[in-house]
């Protein structure tokens, strides 16, 4: 690991302003510009086809983007034809602005303008690289020569726009801004603005890209603050940022850039882009959402968005991708599940007006996810809280607290043995198989309960013992006590402290009832059983027989 070969490739601004760092959050969302169809598309192993780009474009409109960079029309026939298809098929809403990218070279700019014919609202984005490395190694030009390239491109944009009689807006990027001396980047940007002379009713965009991420995010914030303070025509300029993610800090760069004065953000869905990608607009927007700030973008159906994205780009959304990944709301840990389940119950009881649940930063339903399938997930790490939550939410089965613990250990053992996650229907099958209406070695056939003159109950129980039918009779203080006595006295078994609860089954099964019984054998071990039937008394006796059967099997 030859760390000595590396040094800082960025430049601190000549003056440091940290006032922006005292803010705890923005007070509104920035202007969003999607660059999925250009920056994102050019980084794909297999770029999107025309039809795939159209589907992606329509999705961006549905999400709510008002500025969309559709491509580099001079770069290829596909890029050119895509823009013409949008124009000729009237696919650009009046409130949406199309952005196109071009290098500051005459023939490229002219072809770009040809592609724009008929577009009502457009941003023409011109750029040239200004970094020390690019100046010295690629262009081999001086600072003045690089600045002149930018000025010449700006002049040509203005002339061609006037020639076309169009009201296009202009955007300039000093590409590789993060490797450029901030005072030189300012000089170049102000020279471009002097050509365009923007006004508040026709603003220019100065875009400061993190073409390659080189510094800690607060350094980028200070660079943006410096530019924000010293740009000319500031009331007529939208200060834009375009972070990449080479250091894994694209979201942090963006958030600090916004605090430091940026008005606009260019990025992509899920952070697709060259090398480690662009900033993920979904994460930045949803971070605002989670602070109670309207992001002005609609991500309420995240599963559908993920499906479209993966299909047309052939990329994959990580299971841990913030807000969007399959597992980002999932809790496998028993303690986490227990806290979430208790939080859900507290929410139902208190009905608070703000979201504050443990471990769930936002309500999963706000992005189209469900509690029982996406939040509580069951494997060998899970506990009684999560298992009980699934059974209650999905099947209406509300076990006593101690029985939940017993069932939790049962499920844990199955998952550990199979070495896999268990789906809700598998939990239900385990519950039915292990606890409900168990019939080995004893199987209930029928019973009769009769009230005696002294107020006691007499229970007659018909039961199969190892396949042979037997009839037992005994008295007790109540119905269940009478049946319990009949079984203990005639089967030669003993238990105490019978625990009982019951409830109707809901969620489409309201005609049935379920009963739970726990019995304590010698030594203090509690064995649980459950019974289901349309008659609650039958369900109760089935639960008792199930508990006895499970005790006999050593469970």
Which domains, from first to last, does the chain contain? Answer: 22-313 (3.20.20.70), 334-434 (no CATH), 442-552 (3.30.160.270)
Tokens read off for 168:
């296009």
CA-wise closest residue to 280 among 312, 302, 304: 302
Looking at residue 393, what is its pLDDT?
86
CA distances from 143 to 147, 180, 181, 214 (A): 6, 11, 11, 21
Q: In 460-484, which positions are buried (b, 16+ CB within 10 angstroms) versus exposed (e)? A: bbebeeeeeeeebebebeebbbbbb
Label residue 320 left, alpha or beta by phi (over 0 means left) and psi (-120 to 50 means alpha). Answer: alpha
| 448 neighbors 460 (Cβ within 8 angstroms) | yes
Looking at residue 509, what is its pLDDT?
52
Helix, strand, coil share (%) of the chain residues, nearest 5: 45, 20, 35
CA distances from 97 to 229, 335, 461 (A): 27, 49, 80
CA-wise closest residue to 101 among 132, 69, 129: 69
**DSSP labels, 155-210:** HHHHHHHHHHT---EEEEEEESGGGS-HHHHHHHHHHHHHHH--BTTB-EEEEEEE
Tokens read off for 545:
């027989």
Q: What crossing angle do the helices spanning 536-552 and 479-491 adopt, rounded to 10°?
A: 30
**Coil, helix or strand for 555?**
coil
pLDDT in tens, 171-213: 999 999 999 999 999 999 999 999 999 999 999 999 999 999 9
CA distances from 494 to 291, 463, 489 (A): 59, 17, 8
**DSSP labels, 130-143:** --HHIIIIII---H
Per-chain mean pLDDT for the chain: 93
pLDDT in tens, 226-272: 999 999 999 999 999 999 999 999 999 999 999 999 999 999 999 99
Residues of the chain with pLDDT under 50: none
Separation of alpha carbons 50 and 82, rounded Å: 6
Looking at residue 337, what is its pLDDT?
86
Separation of alpha carbons 205 and 264, rounded Å: 9
Looking at residue 496, what is its pLDDT?
86
């Amino acid at each position: 690991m030859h760390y000595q070969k590396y040094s800082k490739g960025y430049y601190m601004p000549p003056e440091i302003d940290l006032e922006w760092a005292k803010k705890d959050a923005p007070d509104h969302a920035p202007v969003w510009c999607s660059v999925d169809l250009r920056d994102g598309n050019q980084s794909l192993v297999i770029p999107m086809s025309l039809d795939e780009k159209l589907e992606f474009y329509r999705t961006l409109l549905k999400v709510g983007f008002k500025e969309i960079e559709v491509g580099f029309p001079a770069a290829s026939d596909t890029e050119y034809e895509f823009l013409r298809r949008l124009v000729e098929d009237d696919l650009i809403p009046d409130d949406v602005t199309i952005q196109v990218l071009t290098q500051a070279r005459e023939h490229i700019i002219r072809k770009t303008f040809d592609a724009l014919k008929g577009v009502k609202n457009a941003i023409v984005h011109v750029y040239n690289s200004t970094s020390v490395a690019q100046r010295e190694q690629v262009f081999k030009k001086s600072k003045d020569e690089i600045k002149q390239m930018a000025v010449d491109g700006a002049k040509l944009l203005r002339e061609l726009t006037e020639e076309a009689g169009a009201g296009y807006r202009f955007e300039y990027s000093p590409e590789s801004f993060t490797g450029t001396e901030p005072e030189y980047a300012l000089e170049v940007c102000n020279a471009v603005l002097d050509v365009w002379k923007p006004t508040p009713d026709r603003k220019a965009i100065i875009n400061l890209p993190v073409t390659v991420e080189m510094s800690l995010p607060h350094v980028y914030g200070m660079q943006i603050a410096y530019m924000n303070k010293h740009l000319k025509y500031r009331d007529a300029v939208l200060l834009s940022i375009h972070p990449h993610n080479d250091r894994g800090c694209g979201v942090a760069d963006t958030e600090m850039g916004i605090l430091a004065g940026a008005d606009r953000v260019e990025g992509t869905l899920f952070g697709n882009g060259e090398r480690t990608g662009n900033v993920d607009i979904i994460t930045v927007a949803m971070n605002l959402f989670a602070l109670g700030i309207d992001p002005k973008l609609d991500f309420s159906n995240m599963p559908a968005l993920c499906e479209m994205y993966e299909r047309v780009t052939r990329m994959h959304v990580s299971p841990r991708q913030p807000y969007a990944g399959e597992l980002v709301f999932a809790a496998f840990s028993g303690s986490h599940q227990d806290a979430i389940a208790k939080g859900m119950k507290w929410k139902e009881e208190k009905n608070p007006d703000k979201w504050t649940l443990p471990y769930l930063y936002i309500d999963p339903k706000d992005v189209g996810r469900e509690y029982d399938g996406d939040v509580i997930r069951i494997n060998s790490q899970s506990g009684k809280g999560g298992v009980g939550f699934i059974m209650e939410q999905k099947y209406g089965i509300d076990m006593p607290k101690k029985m939940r613990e017993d069932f939790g250990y049962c499920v844990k053992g199955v998952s550990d043995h199979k070495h896999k996650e268990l789906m809700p229907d598998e939990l239900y099958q385990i519950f039915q198989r292990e606890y409900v209406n168990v019939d080995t070695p004893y199987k209930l056939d029928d019973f009769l309960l009769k009230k005696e003159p002294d107020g006691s109950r007499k229970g007659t129980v018909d039961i199969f013992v190892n396949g042979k039918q037997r009839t037992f009779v005994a008295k007790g203080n109540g119905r269940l006590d009478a049946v319990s006595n009949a079984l203990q006295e005639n089967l030669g078994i003993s238990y105490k402290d019978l625990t009982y609860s019951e409830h109707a089954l809901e969620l489409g099964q309201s005609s049935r009832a379920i009963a739970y019984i726990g019995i304590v054998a010698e030594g203090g071990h509690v064995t649980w059983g459950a019974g289901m039937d349309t008659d609650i008394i039958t369900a109760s006796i089935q639960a008792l027989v199930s508990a006895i059967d499970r005790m006999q099997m050593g469970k």
